[in-house]
Amino acid sequence: MTEPSRIPTFDELLKLFQVFPFDLRKAYFTSLCSQSGLFYVLIRTGDNKKLAIIGEKEALLKDPFIGKIFDHTPSLKLCDLSPENTLCLMELFPFTKPVSLLNYPATIGAGDRLGLATPGHIRAVRKFKARPVFAQQSVRENGRTKRNFKEVIADAAWSVFQENYCNGYGADGDHLKSLDEVRLALDAGVSMITLDLSEKLNFEALSMPNEAVERRFREEVDPGDAKVLLHLLLDKEFTFRGASGELSIRFSEEEVKKNVLLFHQAIDFSEEVYQLIMKRTGRKNLIDFEISVDEIPFPTPPETHLFLMIVLRHRGVRIESLAPRFIGEFQKGIDYRGEVQAFRKQFYHHTLIAQHYGNYKLSIHSGSDKFSIFPHVGEIAGGKVHLKTAGTSWLEAVRLIALKAPSLFKEMVRTALSAFKEASKLYHVTTDLSRVPKPENLDDQRLSELLDEENSRQLLHITYGFLLNSPSRGAFFKTLIEHEEDYWSLLEHHIEKHLNLLGVERGDHLCQV
Ligand code: ZN
């Protein structure tokens, strides 16, 4: 590698660009860096971001990025943020590639459904001793936003480059429900798999009469397995001790059998996926494995959590995080609803089990805006927790529209209202449309109040798929891009509020490359 020449100042850089025949809208100066005698900087020309590489023509020809070279002294290569160039970026600047966050206690998933939010997330996260999962999308989200895992990771990687965030970030294939979905996410380069067991659970087992449980257990469970399971779980007192008291669990034979019937397909599936991950990674800890049961019809009692972990551990499956369904309501984009003290107690019990069975993290899904419980979560988990948010960053984008483009915002509210019935089939929400303020009755300056009112907040949250596929899509993205710095400021402030209330320590913002 040759010694890089002095990095140009912002003014020098702009002057340099003036000689070239393209429309420079913006240079992302934070991204400016040098490597092998070339300067790399992210810029915006027209509606697109591009990578600009500056240096001698000879060196530009050798450089692996694919792009158009403009001859001059120095010369310039202008590159699209294409899939090929994303691979080059990860190769040349390894901090742009997703990594396992196994060794970091506090992690936050900040799903970016638009591919535009990550710089705002970075500006918040880099103030804390937390590590981020910037690329975090489920197959459902990808379907609604018409993206795929590769594109989601590429958007995060280029944002990480733009902001020169070198601390490492994760990419989560979220809520994966089949081996094919897991393969797809692994092929795209995720560093985290969240396996959703909800479709593999036999909920019927919970309401079966005793004889049916006995019969189904005999029919469905291999006698050898049955013996092992009963041996592992029966006639034992599982006792956990911690700073706030003790938890003691005993399983009756009926409880064991019901749990086996509930979980046995899910456990086989978890083992299968775990083995696939181990095979792909050569048993190195490159992929963080999370299991989620948060989208099931009932809260996960600590007994069920314990049962699942005993059996998974017996199968040799190691997880980095578990997402139970906690008591109370975790509705999208609004604060926790329920008894905070009851949540506190149950969260403590879940934490005791997690600490004992591999010291994995509890993962809080639908974690956007659950401000009233964050201080409890942070305190009880001792700062070791994974929080997943996504919808709240979408809502901040909608807030930006309310602030900058009133008539577009009103149009979006009308679209959301007409899509609400359809959208609400897919979510558990208690939105009362009669309480949604009529945007036409509000002054333009007060439109963003709709983002502070729970009913309109939920309305605009759950209809995101409809809004992104409505005729206002183009104007929505154009406005966001025009005011991207304002969008990032809103996000910075909002995600910072999450991390503050969780009690994550500040600091650790400097990149060490
Ligand atoms: Zn979830």
Distance CA 77, CA 63 (A): 10
> Is 484 a catalytic site residue?
no
- Ligand 1 ion: Cβ-proximal residues, 5 Å cutoff: 294, 365
pLDDT of residue 428: 80
Q: Report the separation in Å between the CA atom of 263 and the middle of ligand 1, taken as the mean of its atom positions.
A: 18
Which residues make Cβ contacts (< 8 Å) with residue 254, sequence separation at least 6? 210, 213
Contacts for 448-451 with beta carbons within 8 Å, 24 or more apart? 448/399, 448/402, 448/403, 450/402, 450/413, 451/395, 451/396, 451/398, 451/399, 451/402
List the structure tokens of 247: 């938890």
- In sequence order, the β-bridge partners of residue 364 are 387
Q: Report the separation in Å between the CA atom of 295 and the middle of ligand 1, taken as the mean of its atom positions.
A: 6
Rg (the chain; Cα; Å):
25
pLDDT of residue 509: 52
Question: ∠ CA 340-141-119 to the nearest 5 degrees?
Answer: 80
CB 415 within 8 A of CB 462: no
Q: Which candidate in 290, 320, 411, 492 is catalytic? A: 290
Q: Which candidate in 141, 174, 181, 294 is catalytic? A: 174
Distance CA 342, CA 357 (A): 23
**Predicted model pTM:** 0.95
Cα distances (Å, whole numbers) of residue 417 to 66, 254, 423, 451, 456: 45, 48, 10, 15, 9
The string over 384-396, giving b where at least 16 C-beta atoms fall within 10 Å of a residue's C-beta and e elsewhere, is bbbbbbbbbbbbb
Tokens 């939920």 locate to 458
Q: Report the separation in Å between the CA atom of 292 and the middle of ligand 1, taken as the mean of its atom positions.
A: 7
Q: Report the separation in Å between the CA atom of 358 and the middle of ligand 1, taken as the mean of its atom positions.
A: 21
Which residues of the chain are under the pLDDT cut of 70?
1-5, 508-513
Q: Report the separation in Å between the CA atom of 175 and the middle of ligand 1, taken as the mean of its atom positions.
A: 6
Tokens 């993205």 locate to 477
Per DSSP, helices labelled H in 424-472 are 454-462, 464-468
Q: Report the separation in Å between the CA atom of 208 and the middle of ligand 1, taken as the mean of its atom positions.
A: 27
> Is 47 a catalytic site residue?
no
